[in-house]
Amino acid sequence: MYDFIIIGAGVIGSSVARELSKYQAKTLCLEKENDVANVQSLANSAIIHAGHNPEPGSLKAVLSVLGNKLYDTWEKELSIPLLRTGAFVAAHNEKEEIIIENLLKTTIENMVPEYEVLTGDEAREIEPNLAKSITKVLSLPTTKVTYPWEVAFACMENAINNGVEFQKNKQVTSIKKVNGFFEIEVNKEEIYQTKYVINAAGVASDDIGQMIEEPPFKIKPRKGEYFVLDRRVKGFVNHVLYPLPSEKGKGVLVTPQVHGNILLGPSSEFIDDKFEASTTDEGLKYIKEHSVELAENIPFNMIIRSFAGIRSTSTCDDFYIKESKTNKGFYYLGGIESPGLTAAPAIGPYLVNEIIGVGNEFELKSDFNPRREPRLEFHRLPWRKQQALLDEDHLYGRIICKCEKITEKEIIDAIHGPLGSHSIKGIKKRVRAGAGLCQGGYCEEKIMKIIARELNISPLDVEYDDPQSKIFKEETKVDE
Amino acid sequence: MMKDVIVIGGGAGGLAAAIETHQSRKDVLLIERETFLGGILNQCIHNGFGLEVFKEEYTGPEYADQFIETFLEEKIDYLLDTTVIGLRKENDVFFVKTSSEKDGIRFFQAKAVVVSTGSYERTRGQISIPGDRPYGVITAGSAQRYLNIDGLLIGKKVFVLGSGDIGLIMARRMKLEGAEVLGVAEIMPHSNGLTRNIVQCLNDFDIPLYLSHTVTEIIGDDENRLSKIKVSKVDESFKPIEGTEKEFEVDTLLLSIGLIPDVTLLDELKVEIDSRTKSVKVNQAYETNIEGLFVCGNALQVHDLVDNVTLESKRAGQAVNRYLDKGKADVHQSIYLNPGNNLGYVTPQRIDMDIIQDYITLSFRSNKKMEKAICKVFQNEDIIFEKKLVFVLPAEMETIKLPFEKINEVGDIRVELEVRS
Amino acid sequence: MKKEFICIVCPRGCHVSVDDEMNITGNQCPRGKTYVENELIAPTRILTTTVRTSFEDQPRISCKTDKPIPKELIFEAMKIINHIMIDKDISIGDIIIENILDTNVNIIATKPSRKKE
């Protein structure tokens, strides 16, 4: 019998897991995918917004402004990479400048700690590639960019380190309320029992709710497509650039990323299939058309990839973070779309302390360790540290991913460990091998061989992502 | 410890340049990132190499072996399993930073550097084919490596995008090793590969070639594996024509959509780039605007015949020898070359008149198919040289020898192609 | 019924047709006629492929037919080659299969086995 079962290990589920791991409560996190952060948290802009446009007083507003601040603590405790970019919200004419003024009011009401209005020219002094048509900007210096996979990994690793159990490839197939506890059926065969259920299932959070009651909201999933520019465009812009927000969302942005890449996007459209994240001709065209409104000379020839992400827009306007009205002990984290990533550090404590009140029933752990060691990025370390590591392990000397300078030892470490990955995609999420200019052309074969060797399996059993997604169909000449 | 020259890359280009410089008694070090020499030739197990250089037809590994044998016999200094991770120039010395499992991080110094790092393949992400992102979409070269080196088959129901030779060769290879190959799509109205390959890779195996077609959508299954592609006919502006969409059930899409010279090593240096070749600008000695830095082979421009890589890299090696013997020039008297009518690009992009040779090898590609053509070299709007050519194709790089004496001291050069009757 | 060929003797790539009475048209030179006649009567090809080895770090070695073999024997030849397992050192040109399918053509190695460092 568990005290808490968390359904979903995206950024939100992981943040809750970490918060719960502070308490002497037996906690399990179940994730249906083959990895942490594999659906919404997999594909988004990676922005930690300032909190400038959610409705004042809403959870979105309060938790994102608080979350933004808490990332400073997370950076230190959990070694989460942060890029302090700041942001400009752009206006192109008088009509839009009025909207900027309104946005400023919202910014102030939401208690965003820093903000400034600049003329287009002043902004262009700071960002020379800003579009010439921009006449005014709202500057939001507290805007940051992070690496969402690493946020989820960091929270979950820390949670595991502090006693939380994590299981992947476990899809919840039914939930029953029995005599004061819940029975959770997984993959149609296993049963877990728990006193409390935390539904952090993202786009499927209404489906999970549907298993025991009429859920208090419906997810209306939206898709957003993006282009990724190679990290050699680093410095093209240094701020996150926003257009004015509309009912479609924040609009097509130009976003510098932690490793130097730049994202263009997202587009925004409602989709029927919750897990359908394909890119479309129209979506990609839309991004190209609108990103030029923000910046001049966008180096489109440096596009190395496009992808699509899903957001769990819901029939509620705000985050739905409440206990079920009908089934006590069942808690919803619903509609956590943007600014979900921003609010993540605040959502965990908010749910655990304010909504559940875990401290009323469970003691804090005296040996809770808030620290999680940073993931080693060898070629970003200072020279002396590199030399010391090379003395420890020669495999730091063999470069596997030439484009991003990722070493064999980093890949081996990404395979092993409590949150290690056995798949090509999982390795890429952890250490970026294959995420560069050649998109795995040079290194995928080598990574495949390392996985096979480290796990003592045949290359035929190496997975791309899903356990069923093996890379190879067969070895030639073997069955003859 | 100062070397005369460091050659980066041990494929066809690097081997030829290293042998050439070593035979002129220069102190050479060759650095190769793989655990073997020969580069991409190792996986090109098909025929067609060496007709120009050896007057014999070899497979890729046999061709490579000719040079590897000479290289090893000459006892040229080399490092395997070593990646160059930094290249800098300070005063007149190049600093080459390497990383290997065996020796950790090391620094080498050299008076000259030859970059012969080959090219990488254009990917799906770069041409933004819409759809899902399942496993099974892979470049033809990667599939070739898995198949010919590792003996592993990516899939059994294959479609190929791009009718360049690598796509055609792999269509045949996959078929021979037991896969079904459902077709090859080529966005242009004509094939990009050698006719011989159309006949012996496609026609021989009844693999259909869909000209003026391209892949318009990629669809994966629930396990995130490729399951279907949509292929449409395109118009003259390469836009998909409505109503022409065909669906193919495949588990593998091989991409043969172009090679891009790999000059990422030069990120830290301020080299001049030619946006047409996507590589560096060089003079007739294959030297970049940075003195002592030479680039040759596929890293300079995409070649179709490895013989040309060998010949070019040999010339680059000779140029390195000259550079080391004479030292850098105080001032270059430079003439710039530009592509004119019907030319996609021309190399070299610059001729330094103080480097005197009998003739200069111009390399270029036509934009159009021409059965009979004439190449005209203009300087100051006068024709200084002409050469008749036959069977000119965008898919085949051409070379002509421009006699040095024909070039005037001053005035930029324009190279053009015209149809001749 | 007409049969269509593309001649590969020179880059011109003439499209050559042959009708039921063996009339050959479309070639712009006599070599084209000879090529098509060969393709009709006895088409041959060089086969290049790989062969399995027992070497862990070199699971495949490339090979070829040392002369062209009849085109219709290609898949059968592949089957025979696929049964071979090389387990000793081999050099370029070494015969892997002698006189495959009674054609007087040998399968020879085109890559040497890797020397142990």
Q: Residue A249: is its pLDDT beyond 80?
A: no
Q: Stretch A341-353: mean pLDDT, rounded?
A: 97
Q: Stretch B362-376: mean pLDDT, rounded?
A: 94
Question: Do the chains contact at C110 and B59, CB–CB below 8 Å?
Answer: yes
Task: Give me the residues of A, 370-429, that contact B with CB < 8 A.
Answer: 379, 386-387, 390, 394-399, 402-403, 405, 407-408, 424
CA angle B335, B341, B347 (to 5 degrees): 40
- What is the pLDDT, as a whole number, of residue C116? 57
- What is the pLDDT, as a whole number, of residue B185? 98
Give the SS3 label for residue A108: helix
Distance, in Å, from the CA atom of A182 to the CA atom of A260, rounded to the nearest integer, reads 46
Q: What ipTM did this prediction achieve?
A: 0.95
- What is the pLDDT, as a whole number, of residue C21? 87
Domain boundaries, chain C: 3-41, 48-109
Write out chain A residues lying below 8 Å of B253, CB-based: none
The shortest C-alpha distance from C21 to chain B (Å) reads: 23
Write out chain A residues lying below 8 Å of B132, CB-based: 276-278
- Known catalytic residues of A? 49
**Mutate which: C49, C52, C54, vs A, most A CBs within 10 A:** C52
Task: Give chain A's mean pLDDT.
Answer: 95
- Digit-coded pLDDT (tens) for A410-456: 999 999 988 999 999 999 999 999 999 999 999 999 999 999 999 99
**Mutate which: C111, C113, C114, C115, vs B, most B CBs within 10 A:** C111
When pLDDT is cut at 50, 70 and 90, the band that residue A125 belongs to is very high
Q: Stretch B84-98: mean pLDDT, rounded?
A: 96
Q: Which CATH number fits domain C48-109: 3.40.50.300, 1.20.140.10, 1.20.1050.10, 3.10.530.10?
A: 3.10.530.10
- Digit-coded pLDDT (tens) for A13-25: 999 999 999 999 9
Task: Give me the residues of A, 460-479, that contact C with CB < 8 A.
Answer: 476-478
- Digit-coded pLDDT (tens) for A71-121: 999 999 999 999 999 999 999 999 999 999 999 999 999 999 999 999 999
What is the arrangement of strands in the sheet containing B413-419, beginning at the earlier edge strand?
A: B350-352, B334-339, B413-419, B370-379, B382-392
Question: Do the chains contact at C79 and A480, CB–CB below 8 Å?
Answer: yes
The shortest C-alpha distance from A425 to chain B (Å) reads: 10
Question: Do the chains contact at A472 and B85, CB–CB below 8 Å?
Answer: no
Which range has the worst mean pLDDT, A395-399, B285-289, C7-11, C109-113?
A: C7-11
Q: Stretch B118-128: mean pLDDT, rounded?
A: 95
Q: Stretch A201-219: mean pLDDT, rounded?
A: 96
- What is the pLDDT, as a whole number, of residue C117? 45
Distance, in Å, from the CA atom of A308 to the CA atom of A227, rounded to the nearest integer, reads 9
Alpha-helical (H) ranges within B228-374 are 306-326
- What is the pLDDT, as a whole number, of residue B331? 78
Tell which residue, A2, A37, A13, has the closest CA to residue A331.
A13
Which distant-in-sequence residues (6+ apart) come within 8 Å of A47 by Cβ? A87, A143, A144, A145, A240, A253, A255, A341, A342
Q: How would you classify the pairing of strands A303-311 and A320-323?
A: unpaired
Question: Do the chains contact at A441 and B123, CB–CB below 8 Å?
Answer: yes
For B65, the closest chain C residue by CA position comes to: C111
Which stretches does DSSP call E strand in B343-397?
A: 343-347, 350-352, 359-366, 370-379, 382-392
Q: Is A469 on the interface with B (CB under 8 A)?
A: yes
Write out chain B residues lying below 8 Å of A465, CB-based: 135, 224
The shortest C-alpha distance from A282 to chain B (Å) reads: 9
Write out chain C residues lying below 8 Å of B69, CB-based: none
Cis, peptide link before residue C59, omega less than 30° from 0 = no
Domains, chain B: 1-121+258-328 (3.50.50.60), 123-257 (3.50.50.60), 333-421 (2.60.40)
Dihedral angle sign, alpha carbons of residues A51, A57, A58, A63: positive
The shortest C-alpha distance from A470 to chain B (Å) reads: 8
Whole-number percent of chain B with pLDDT over 90:
90
Q: Is B172 on the interface with C (CB under 8 A)?
A: no
**Mutate which: A445, A477, A478, A479, vs C, most C CBs within 10 A:** A477
Q: If you count residue pairs, one on A and one on B, with CB atoms under 8 Å apart, how many are there?
A: 136
Question: Do the chains contact at B65 and C111, CB–CB below 8 Å?
Answer: yes
Write out chain C residues lying below 8 Å of B149, CB-based: 59-60
10-residue averages of pLDDT along chain C (117 residues) = 83 85 88 88 94 95 96 96 96 96 97 78
Domains, chain A: 2-41+149-219+315-360 (3.50.50.60), 87-141+222-311 (3.30.9.10), 378-461 (1.10.10.1100)
Tokens coding B250: 């495949």
- What is the pLDDT, as a whole number, of residue B196? 87
- What is the pLDDT, as a whole number, of residue A480? 58
Task: Give chain B's mean pLDDT.
Answer: 95
Name the residue among B133, B146, B251 with its Cβ closest to that of A445. Answer: B146
DSSP structure class, residue A351:
I
